[in-house]
Amino acid sequence: MKIDLAKTSVTEVSLKRHPLLDPAKLSEMAEDAARALLREGESANTLAAYRSALRYWAAWFAARYGQPLRLPVPVPAVIQFIVDHAERTTPTGLVSQLPAAVDRLLVDQGYKGKLGAPAFSTVVHRIAVLSKTHQLAHQVNPCGDALVRELLAKTRRAYAKRGALPRKQRALSKEPFQAMLATCDDSLRGRRDRALLLFAWATGGRRRSEVAAATVENLRRVEPAVFLYVLTHSKINQAGAERPQDTKPLVGSAGEAMQAWLAASGITSGALFRRVRKGGHLGETLSAAAVRGIVKERCALAGVEGDFSAHSLRSGFVTEAGRQNMPLAETMAMTGHQSVASVVGYFRAEAALSSRIASLLDAPEM
Protein backbone atom coordinates (compact mmCIF):
# COMPACT_ATOMS: atom_id res chain seq x y z
CA MET A 1 0.00 0.00 0.00
CA LYS A 2 1.38 3.43 -1.01
CA ILE A 3 1.21 6.37 1.35
CA ASP A 4 1.28 9.90 0.00
CA LEU A 5 3.48 11.65 2.53
CA ALA A 6 2.55 15.06 1.14
CA LYS A 7 -1.09 14.50 2.10
CA THR A 8 -0.42 13.09 5.57
CA SER A 9 -0.04 16.43 7.32
CA VAL A 10 -1.42 17.86 10.53
CA THR A 11 -3.80 20.80 10.64
CA GLU A 12 -2.71 24.37 11.09
CA VAL A 13 -4.52 24.49 14.46
CA SER A 14 -2.55 21.54 15.83
CA LEU A 15 0.70 23.14 14.68
CA LYS A 16 -0.06 26.19 16.81
CA ARG A 17 -0.74 24.00 19.82
CA HIS A 18 2.32 21.80 19.28
CA PRO A 19 5.35 23.65 17.88
CA LEU A 20 7.32 21.70 15.32
CA LEU A 21 10.70 20.24 16.23
CA ASP A 22 13.89 20.29 14.23
CA PRO A 23 14.46 16.65 13.09
CA ALA A 24 18.23 17.24 12.98
CA LYS A 25 18.42 18.40 16.59
CA LEU A 26 17.27 16.81 19.83
CA SER A 27 15.23 19.09 22.07
CA GLU A 28 16.44 19.71 25.60
CA MET A 29 13.40 17.96 27.06
CA ALA A 30 13.91 14.91 24.83
CA GLU A 31 17.59 14.78 25.72
CA ASP A 32 16.76 14.85 29.44
CA ALA A 33 14.18 12.11 28.92
CA ALA A 34 16.67 9.98 26.97
CA ARG A 35 19.27 10.36 29.73
CA ALA A 36 16.67 9.35 32.32
CA LEU A 37 15.78 6.22 30.33
CA LEU A 38 19.45 5.33 29.98
CA ARG A 39 19.90 5.65 33.75
CA GLU A 40 16.76 3.65 34.50
CA GLY A 41 17.77 0.90 32.09
CA GLU A 42 21.12 0.40 33.79
CA SER A 43 21.34 -1.92 36.80
CA ALA A 44 21.77 -0.35 40.23
CA ASN A 45 25.16 -2.02 40.62
CA THR A 46 26.38 -0.64 37.28
CA LEU A 47 25.27 2.88 38.13
CA ALA A 48 26.93 2.69 41.54
CA ALA A 49 30.17 1.48 39.93
CA TYR A 50 30.04 4.32 37.38
CA ARG A 51 29.49 6.95 40.07
CA SER A 52 32.35 5.56 42.17
CA ALA A 53 34.73 5.56 39.19
CA LEU A 54 33.83 9.13 38.22
CA ARG A 55 34.21 10.34 41.79
CA TYR A 56 37.68 8.82 41.83
CA TRP A 57 38.57 10.44 38.49
CA ALA A 58 37.49 13.83 39.82
CA ALA A 59 39.44 13.44 43.07
CA TRP A 60 42.59 12.18 41.33
CA PHE A 61 42.43 14.94 38.70
CA ALA A 62 42.01 17.66 41.33
CA ALA A 63 44.90 16.29 43.39
CA ARG A 64 47.19 15.93 40.37
CA TYR A 65 46.36 19.09 38.43
CA GLY A 66 44.88 21.43 41.02
CA GLN A 67 41.70 22.03 38.99
CA PRO A 68 38.28 20.40 38.56
CA LEU A 69 37.75 17.62 36.04
CA ARG A 70 36.14 18.82 32.81
CA LEU A 71 35.25 17.09 29.56
CA PRO A 72 36.92 16.37 27.30
CA VAL A 73 39.81 15.09 29.39
CA PRO A 74 43.12 15.63 27.54
CA VAL A 75 44.92 12.54 26.25
CA PRO A 76 48.07 13.25 28.34
CA ALA A 77 45.94 13.20 31.50
CA VAL A 78 44.56 9.76 30.62
CA ILE A 79 48.10 8.47 30.02
CA GLN A 80 49.17 10.00 33.34
CA PHE A 81 46.26 8.20 35.03
CA ILE A 82 47.44 4.86 33.65
CA VAL A 83 51.08 5.26 34.70
CA ASP A 84 49.98 6.57 38.09
CA HIS A 85 48.01 3.41 38.80
CA ALA A 86 49.62 0.59 36.81
CA GLU A 87 52.74 -1.06 38.20
CA ARG A 88 55.89 -1.44 36.10
CA THR A 89 59.06 -3.41 36.71
CA THR A 90 62.21 -1.54 37.82
CA PRO A 91 65.56 -2.69 39.26
CA THR A 92 64.14 -2.03 42.74
CA GLY A 93 60.88 -3.88 42.14
CA LEU A 94 57.36 -2.96 41.06
CA VAL A 95 56.48 0.73 41.20
CA SER A 96 53.77 3.08 39.97
CA GLN A 97 53.93 6.82 39.32
CA LEU A 98 51.36 8.07 41.85
CA PRO A 99 53.08 10.30 44.45
CA ALA A 100 52.87 8.97 48.01
CA ALA A 101 51.27 12.21 49.26
CA VAL A 102 48.50 12.01 46.63
CA ASP A 103 47.98 8.32 47.38
CA ARG A 104 47.59 9.07 51.09
CA LEU A 105 45.22 11.96 50.38
CA LEU A 106 42.95 9.78 48.23
CA VAL A 107 42.85 7.10 50.92
CA ASP A 108 42.22 9.57 53.76
CA GLN A 109 39.34 11.17 51.83
CA GLY A 110 37.74 7.80 51.15
CA TYR A 111 38.34 7.61 47.41
CA LYS A 112 40.71 4.66 47.75
CA GLY A 113 40.42 1.66 50.04
CA LYS A 114 44.13 1.27 50.70
CA LEU A 115 47.54 2.61 49.73
CA GLY A 116 49.32 1.26 46.68
CA ALA A 117 48.45 0.38 43.11
CA PRO A 118 44.97 -1.04 42.49
CA ALA A 119 44.28 -4.20 40.51
CA PHE A 120 44.81 -3.67 36.80
CA SER A 121 41.16 -4.60 36.21
CA THR A 122 40.21 -1.56 38.32
CA VAL A 123 42.34 0.69 36.11
CA VAL A 124 40.74 -0.74 32.97
CA HIS A 125 37.24 -0.28 34.42
CA ARG A 126 37.88 3.37 35.30
CA ILE A 127 39.19 4.05 31.79
CA ALA A 128 36.07 2.38 30.37
CA VAL A 129 33.80 4.55 32.54
CA LEU A 130 35.58 7.71 31.40
CA SER A 131 35.23 6.55 27.80
CA LYS A 132 31.49 5.96 28.24
CA THR A 133 31.09 9.37 29.86
CA HIS A 134 32.65 11.08 26.85
CA GLN A 135 30.44 9.10 24.45
CA LEU A 136 27.26 10.08 26.29
CA ALA A 137 28.37 13.72 26.39
CA HIS A 138 29.19 13.67 22.65
CA GLN A 139 32.74 14.77 23.41
CA VAL A 140 35.96 13.75 21.68
CA ASN A 141 36.94 10.55 23.47
CA PRO A 142 40.59 10.55 24.68
CA CYS A 143 40.31 6.85 25.63
CA GLY A 144 40.04 6.00 21.94
CA ASP A 145 43.38 7.65 21.18
CA ALA A 146 45.86 5.24 19.55
CA LEU A 147 48.55 5.89 22.17
CA VAL A 148 46.13 5.27 25.06
CA ARG A 149 44.88 2.01 23.51
CA GLU A 150 48.42 0.77 22.81
CA LEU A 151 49.57 1.64 26.33
CA LEU A 152 46.66 -0.28 27.87
CA ALA A 153 47.28 -3.30 25.61
CA LYS A 154 51.02 -3.41 26.35
CA THR A 155 50.43 -2.88 30.08
CA ARG A 156 47.98 -5.80 30.13
CA ARG A 157 50.63 -7.91 28.38
CA ALA A 158 53.28 -6.83 30.90
CA TYR A 159 51.03 -7.92 33.80
CA ALA A 160 50.44 -11.28 32.11
CA LYS A 161 54.18 -11.85 31.50
CA ARG A 162 54.94 -11.52 35.21
CA GLY A 163 52.06 -13.81 36.15
CA ALA A 164 49.80 -11.18 37.67
CA LEU A 165 46.51 -12.93 36.98
CA PRO A 166 43.14 -11.24 37.61
CA ARG A 167 42.03 -11.90 41.18
CA LYS A 168 38.86 -13.96 41.40
CA GLN A 169 36.62 -14.51 44.38
CA ARG A 170 37.02 -17.97 45.92
CA ALA A 171 34.30 -20.47 45.15
CA LEU A 172 31.83 -21.57 47.84
CA SER A 173 31.57 -25.20 46.78
CA LYS A 174 29.58 -27.85 48.62
CA GLU A 175 31.58 -28.36 51.84
CA PRO A 176 32.10 -24.70 52.86
CA PHE A 177 28.58 -23.88 51.74
CA GLN A 178 27.10 -26.59 53.97
CA ALA A 179 29.17 -25.24 56.87
CA MET A 180 27.58 -21.82 56.29
CA LEU A 181 24.10 -23.32 56.27
CA ALA A 182 24.81 -25.04 59.57
CA THR A 183 25.12 -21.61 61.22
CA CYS A 184 21.50 -20.75 60.34
CA ASP A 185 19.26 -21.53 63.32
CA ASP A 186 15.47 -21.58 63.55
CA SER A 187 15.15 -17.88 64.38
CA LEU A 188 13.50 -15.65 61.80
CA ARG A 189 16.88 -14.28 60.74
CA GLY A 190 18.32 -17.79 60.56
CA ARG A 191 15.44 -19.06 58.42
CA ARG A 192 15.79 -16.05 56.12
CA ASP A 193 19.51 -16.51 55.66
CA ARG A 194 19.16 -20.24 55.03
CA ALA A 195 16.42 -19.68 52.43
CA LEU A 196 18.38 -16.83 50.82
CA LEU A 197 21.65 -18.77 50.57
CA LEU A 198 19.97 -21.89 49.18
CA PHE A 199 17.87 -19.83 46.76
CA ALA A 200 21.01 -18.15 45.42
CA TRP A 201 23.14 -21.30 45.23
CA ALA A 202 20.63 -23.94 44.14
CA THR A 203 19.07 -21.92 41.31
CA GLY A 204 22.39 -21.72 39.50
CA GLY A 205 24.33 -19.20 41.56
CA ARG A 206 22.19 -16.11 41.34
CA ARG A 207 23.87 -12.73 41.46
CA ARG A 208 23.31 -10.63 44.59
CA SER A 209 21.26 -8.09 42.61
CA GLU A 210 18.98 -10.91 41.42
CA VAL A 211 18.55 -12.19 44.98
CA ALA A 212 17.72 -8.71 46.26
CA ALA A 213 15.18 -8.22 43.46
CA ALA A 214 13.42 -11.57 44.00
CA THR A 215 9.66 -11.28 44.60
CA VAL A 216 6.90 -13.57 45.81
CA GLU A 217 4.94 -12.86 42.62
CA ASN A 218 7.61 -14.67 40.57
CA LEU A 219 7.64 -17.69 42.90
CA ARG A 220 5.17 -20.51 42.15
CA ARG A 221 4.52 -23.34 44.58
CA VAL A 222 4.20 -26.70 42.81
CA GLU A 223 4.09 -28.88 45.93
CA PRO A 224 4.36 -28.00 49.64
CA ALA A 225 8.19 -27.76 49.46
CA VAL A 226 8.74 -27.56 45.70
CA PHE A 227 8.82 -24.21 43.89
CA LEU A 228 9.55 -22.71 40.50
CA TYR A 229 11.05 -19.24 40.34
CA VAL A 230 10.86 -17.09 37.19
CA LEU A 231 13.88 -14.86 36.76
CA THR A 232 12.32 -11.91 34.94
CA HIS A 233 15.43 -9.71 34.84
CA SER A 234 19.09 -10.63 34.84
CA LYS A 235 22.45 -9.50 33.51
CA ILE A 236 21.92 -11.41 30.25
CA ASN A 237 18.18 -10.67 30.00
CA GLN A 238 17.95 -6.99 30.82
CA ALA A 239 15.00 -6.49 28.48
CA GLY A 240 12.86 -8.86 30.57
CA ALA A 241 12.00 -11.16 27.65
CA GLU A 242 10.07 -14.34 28.47
CA ARG A 243 12.40 -17.32 28.08
CA PRO A 244 11.86 -20.94 29.24
CA GLN A 245 15.41 -21.16 30.60
CA ASP A 246 14.66 -18.41 33.13
CA THR A 247 12.41 -20.71 35.17
CA LYS A 248 14.53 -22.09 38.01
CA PRO A 249 13.56 -25.02 40.28
CA LEU A 250 13.72 -24.91 44.07
CA VAL A 251 13.63 -28.50 45.29
CA GLY A 252 15.02 -30.58 48.14
CA SER A 253 16.66 -28.61 50.94
CA ALA A 254 16.26 -25.37 48.95
CA GLY A 255 12.51 -25.89 48.63
CA GLU A 256 12.18 -26.83 52.30
CA ALA A 257 14.09 -23.74 53.38
CA MET A 258 11.89 -21.51 51.23
CA GLN A 259 8.74 -23.08 52.66
CA ALA A 260 10.01 -22.56 56.23
CA TRP A 261 10.90 -18.91 55.54
CA LEU A 262 7.54 -18.08 53.96
CA ALA A 263 5.67 -19.75 56.83
CA ALA A 264 7.72 -18.00 59.51
CA SER A 265 7.74 -14.56 57.88
CA GLY A 266 4.15 -14.51 56.66
CA ILE A 267 5.26 -12.82 53.43
CA THR A 268 2.62 -13.17 50.70
CA SER A 269 3.60 -10.44 48.25
CA GLY A 270 6.43 -8.12 47.34
CA ALA A 271 10.08 -8.65 48.15
CA LEU A 272 11.03 -12.22 48.98
CA PHE A 273 13.97 -11.36 51.25
CA ARG A 274 13.71 -8.52 53.75
CA ARG A 275 15.54 -7.06 56.67
CA VAL A 276 14.74 -8.61 60.04
CA ARG A 277 14.65 -5.98 62.78
CA LYS A 278 15.00 -6.46 66.52
CA GLY A 279 12.07 -8.30 67.99
CA GLY A 280 11.57 -10.32 64.80
CA HIS A 281 9.86 -7.56 62.83
CA LEU A 282 10.25 -7.48 59.07
CA GLY A 283 11.71 -4.36 57.53
CA GLU A 284 12.53 -3.10 54.06
CA THR A 285 13.78 -5.08 51.09
CA LEU A 286 17.35 -6.32 51.39
CA SER A 287 19.81 -4.46 49.19
CA ALA A 288 22.43 -6.17 47.05
CA ALA A 289 25.06 -4.98 49.53
CA ALA A 290 23.10 -6.63 52.36
CA VAL A 291 23.12 -9.94 50.47
CA ARG A 292 26.91 -9.72 50.24
CA GLY A 293 27.02 -8.92 53.97
CA ILE A 294 25.00 -12.04 54.81
CA VAL A 295 27.41 -14.24 52.82
CA LYS A 296 30.44 -12.74 54.58
CA GLU A 297 28.79 -12.95 58.01
CA ARG A 298 27.85 -16.61 57.59
CA CYS A 299 31.35 -17.42 56.31
CA ALA A 300 32.80 -15.85 59.45
CA LEU A 301 30.39 -17.71 61.75
CA ALA A 302 31.23 -21.00 60.03
CA GLY A 303 34.96 -20.38 60.27
CA VAL A 304 35.26 -20.54 56.49
CA GLU A 305 38.48 -18.67 55.79
CA GLY A 306 39.20 -16.88 52.54
CA ASP A 307 38.15 -13.99 50.37
CA PHE A 308 34.49 -14.81 49.75
CA SER A 309 31.65 -12.64 48.49
CA ALA A 310 28.13 -13.08 47.13
CA HIS A 311 29.67 -13.95 43.74
CA SER A 312 31.34 -16.93 45.42
CA LEU A 313 27.91 -18.61 45.43
CA ARG A 314 27.81 -18.45 41.63
CA SER A 315 31.35 -19.70 41.12
CA GLY A 316 30.75 -22.32 43.82
CA PHE A 317 27.74 -23.73 42.00
CA VAL A 318 29.69 -24.06 38.74
CA THR A 319 32.73 -25.50 40.53
CA GLU A 320 30.59 -28.12 42.27
CA ALA A 321 28.84 -28.97 39.00
CA GLY A 322 32.26 -29.56 37.42
CA ARG A 323 33.45 -31.61 40.40
CA GLN A 324 30.40 -33.89 40.15
CA ASN A 325 30.75 -34.14 36.33
CA MET A 326 27.35 -32.61 35.66
CA PRO A 327 26.54 -32.05 31.96
CA LEU A 328 27.79 -28.66 30.81
CA ALA A 329 24.52 -27.91 28.99
CA GLU A 330 22.48 -28.46 32.16
CA THR A 331 24.89 -26.34 34.19
CA MET A 332 24.61 -23.49 31.69
CA ALA A 333 20.82 -23.77 31.69
CA MET A 334 20.82 -23.21 35.45
CA THR A 335 23.41 -20.43 35.57
CA GLY A 336 22.15 -18.64 32.45
CA HIS A 337 25.53 -18.50 30.74
CA GLN A 338 25.29 -18.17 26.98
CA SER A 339 28.84 -19.09 26.00
CA VAL A 340 30.81 -22.18 26.90
CA ALA A 341 33.96 -20.09 27.30
CA SER A 342 32.31 -17.97 30.00
CA VAL A 343 31.05 -20.85 32.13
CA VAL A 344 34.28 -22.85 31.79
CA GLY A 345 36.09 -19.81 33.15
CA TYR A 346 34.25 -20.28 36.44
CA PHE A 347 35.64 -23.77 37.01
CA ARG A 348 38.15 -23.58 39.82
CA ALA A 349 41.17 -25.76 40.58
CA GLU A 350 39.06 -27.85 42.99
CA ALA A 351 36.97 -29.12 40.06
CA ALA A 352 40.09 -29.97 38.09
CA LEU A 353 41.44 -32.07 40.98
CA SER A 354 38.57 -34.54 40.64
CA SER A 355 39.01 -34.93 36.90
CA ARG A 356 40.08 -38.42 35.77
CA ILE A 357 42.42 -36.88 33.21
CA ALA A 358 44.47 -35.42 36.08
CA SER A 359 45.34 -38.98 37.20
CA LEU A 360 45.99 -40.34 33.72
CA LEU A 361 49.41 -41.78 34.64
CA ASP A 362 48.04 -43.59 37.71
CA ALA A 363 44.78 -44.78 36.16
CA PRO A 364 44.51 -48.54 35.50
CA GLU A 365 44.57 -49.51 31.84
CA MET A 366 41.22 -50.53 30.39
What are the tens digits of pLDDT across the range 8-37? 344 444 444 555 556 665 566 665 665 565
pTM: 0.58
Q: Output the average pLDDT for the chain.
A: 81
What sign does the dihedral 116-122-127-131 (CA atoms) show?
Answer: negative
Specify burial of residue 111 (Cβ count, 10 A radius: 0-12, 13-18, 19+): middle
pLDDT at residue 331, rounded to an integer: 79
- Domain annotation covers residue 1: no
Q: Measured between alpha carbons, how far is 203 from 199 in angstroms, rounded to an integer?
A: 6
Residues 93 and 38 in one domain: yes
Render pLDDT for 242-264 as a digit per residue (tens, 0 to 9). Answer: 555 678 888 999 999 999 999 99
**Of the residues 124, 140, 161, which one is the last residue of a structural domain?**
161
Residues 37 and 138 in one domain: yes
CATH of the domain at 289: 1.10.443.10
Residues 61 and 178 in one domain: no
- Domain annotation covers residue 92: yes
- 310 or 45: which carries more pLDDT confidence? 310
Residues 179 and 140 in one domain: no
User: What is the extent of the structural domain holding 324?
Assistant: 174-353
For residue 152, pLDDT over 90 is answered with yes
Residues 201 and 348 in one domain: yes
pLDDT at residue 86, rounded to an integer: 92
- Domain annotation covers residue 58: yes
What value does the mean pLDDT take over residues 204-217? 90
State the total domains in the chain.
2
What value does the mean pLDDT take over residues 229-242? 60
Pairing of strands 274-276, 219-223: unpaired
Residues 75 and 203 in one domain: no
Q: How far is CA 238 from CA 210, 213, 234, 242, in A?
A: 11, 13, 6, 11
What value does the mean pLDDT take over residues 97-126? 91
- Domain annotation covers residue 11: no
- Domain annotation covers residue 6: no
Closest CA relative to residue 346, chosen from 359, 337, 356, 355: 337
Residues 305 and 272 in one domain: yes
- Domain annotation covers residue 47: yes
For residue 205, pLDDT over 70 is answered with yes
pLDDT at residue 358, rounded to an integer: 67
Residues 297 and 182 in one domain: yes
Residues 204 and 237 in one domain: yes
